[in-house]
Chain A
Amino acid sequence: QVQLVQSGAEVKKPGASVKVSCKASGYTFTGYYIHWLRQAPGQGPEWMGWINSNSGGTSYAQKFQGRVTLTRGTSINTAYMDLSRLTSDDTAVYYCARYTGNYYAFDIWGQGTLVTVSS
């Protein structure tokens, strides 16, 4: 079935970087954009950026410009999110999500990856 499977939970120290992976299956990976969002406890999701899985083109939310890098590996149907200079405010569940042109909405989500930043 169509799914996105993310890498496991991470614990990082302030100032470090984290890289989260998102492996797609059940559909043509290069046919859809992948977006990355995060969700802090008790809050709504926050959009971070997208990657065109075909061309590799990217767009980032201004809040994360210079700290986030989105990449992909088309041969392995996997997208990656790299976030640097972590602070405690970056503690959240990070999601990848497929953006569909059928709905112009996020129709398939990964299971989420908890990133905890603590000294």
Chain B
Amino acid sequence: EIVLTQSPATLSLSPGERATLSCRASQNVNNYLAWYQQKPGQPPRLLIYDASNRATGIPARFSGSGSGTDFTLTISSLEPEDFAVYYCQQRSNLWTFGQGTKVEIK
């Protein structure tokens, strides 16, 4: 099983700041990595697929990068609605998710 390790566990930032979230895979997943946003009581929402492609309707402040084992989700300037938990997910070998990074208001 491919294990995805996300860091940090919690990120405390203010609106308008830049958020940088990391996801490391236990083995090469090529670019088969997606990012999701989840708010309390809601299902995950697809943001990024194949490492760097925004899903339909996702604002340009969200961007993804990386390949192989190291990936990054960047939110260029945090809006109030961006404070949530973010998960990475790989599809190289079945499907697994990371444990999440919580972006909270500082």
Contacts and interface: CB of A to CB of B under 8 A. Distances in A.
A47 B44 CA distance: 13
Contact of B50 (A43, A44, A104, A110): A104
A45 B91 CA distance: 13
Contacts, number: 50
B53 interface: yes
Contacts of A97: 43
A46 interface: yes
Contacts of B94: 47, 61
A109 B50 contact: no
A44 B102 CA distance: 12
Contacts of A112: 43
A105 B95 CA distance: 10
Contacts of B89: 45, 105-106
Interface string A59-72: 00100000000000
A45 B46 contact: no
A31 B32 CA distance: 22
B11 to A, nearest CB: 16
Contacts of A44: 87, 97-100
Secondary structure of the B side of the interface? Answer: loop
A17 interface: no
A111 B45 CA distance: 11
Interface in A81-119: 95, 97, 103-107, 109-112
Interface residues of B, number: 22
A97 B89 CA distance: 14
Given A35-B95, A45-B97, A47-B95, A103 B46 contact: yes
A109 B34 CA distance: 15
Interface in A30-46: 35, 43-46
B74 to A, nearest CB: 19
B43 A107 contact: no
Contacts of B53: 103
Interface of A: 35, 43-47, 61, 95, 97, 103-107, 109-112
Interface of B: 32, 34, 36, 42-46, 49-50, 53, 55, 87, 89, 91, 94-100
